[in-house]
Amino acid sequence: MREGRPINERALEAGLLRLAKTGYFKPIRKEDICVQLDDANHTANVSIHLEEIGQQRASLAGGSGQFGSTLGIAYTVFDLLNREELLSAQLEGGPETLQVLLGIAKEGIFGTRASLAFSVFSNVIRPRFARSAQGPFFSSHSAGISAPWTYPLTNTDSLAVNYTLSRTTIEYPLASPSDVPGATLGDVRSKTSSRSLGLGWVRDTESERVLFANSASGGWLGGGENMVRSSAEYGRIFRDPFFAPAGAWAFRTTFSGAGSYRGDMPFYARLFSSDELVRGLRPGELGPYAVTARTATNGATIYSASPAGANLATAANAEYRIPLAGRTEAAAFFDLGSGLLLPNWLGPAKPILLGATNGVLHGSAGIELRWTVPGVQVPVRAYYAVNVLRMNRFISLSENSLFHVHNRFSAFGWGLGTLF
Residue 336's SS3 state is strand
Q: How many residues does the chain have?
A: 420
Per-residue pLDDT of the chain (420 residues; tens, 9 = 90+): 556 667 666 677 777 777 766 666 777 777 788 888 877 777 778 888 877 665 787 777 776 667 766 788 889 888 778 777 889 999 998 888 899 999 999 988 877 889 999 999 999 988 766 544 444 467 889 999 999 999 999 989 999 999 999 999 988 765 444 455 554 444 567 888 999 999 999 999 888 999 999 999 999 999 999 999 999 999 999 988 887 778 999 999 999 999 999 998 988 889 988 888 999 998 889 999 998 887 777 877 888 888 888 999 999 999 999 999 888 999 999 999 999 999 999 988 888 899 899 999 999 999 999 998 876 677 889 999 999 999 999 998 887 888 889 999 999 988 877 888
Residue 38's SS3 state is strand
Q: What are the boundaries of each domain within the chain?
A: 1-54, 55-416
Terminal-to-terminal C-alpha distance of the chain: 27
Distance CA 210, CA 142 (A): 29
Question: Looking at this protein, which amino acid is placed at residue 306?
Answer: S
Residue 403's SS3 state is strand
CA 299 to chain centre: 43
Segment holding 161, helix H or strand E: strand 157-171
CA 341-347-353 angle, 5° bins: 35
Contact residues for 166 (Cβ-Cβ < 8 A; gap 6+): 121, 142, 143, 144, 145, 193, 194
Q: Give the model's pLDDT for residue 64.
A: 63
Neighbours of 242 (CB within 10 A): 7
How far are the Cα atoms of 126, 225, 345 from residue 66, in angstroms, in the given order? Answer: 11, 21, 20
Q: Give the model's pLDDT for residue 188.
A: 67
* 87, 119 Cβ separation under 8 angstroms: no
Neighbours of 210 (CB within 10 A): 16
For residue 274, count CB atoms less than 10 angstroms from its CB and return exposed for 0-12, middle for 13-18, buried for 19 or more: buried
Fold topology of 55-416 = Porin (2.40.160)
Q: Give the model's pLDDT for residue 165.
A: 96
* 277, 166 Cβ separation under 8 angstroms: no
Q: Give the model's pLDDT for residue 65.
A: 65
Segment holding 9, helix H or strand E: helix 9-21
Contact residues for 73 (Cβ-Cβ < 8 A; gap 6+): 58, 59, 60, 61, 90, 91, 92
Q: Give the model's pLDDT for residue 3.
A: 60
pTM equals 0.80
* 168, 142 Cβ separation under 8 angstroms: yes
How far are the Cα atoms of 162, 258, 275 from residue 229, in angstroms, in the given order? Answer: 13, 4, 21
Distance CA 164, CA 149 (A): 12
How far are the Cα atoms of 11, 70, 109, 148, 150 from residue 83, in angstroms, in the given order? Answer: 30, 33, 11, 19, 18
Cis ω for the linkage preceding 136 (within 30 of 0):
yes
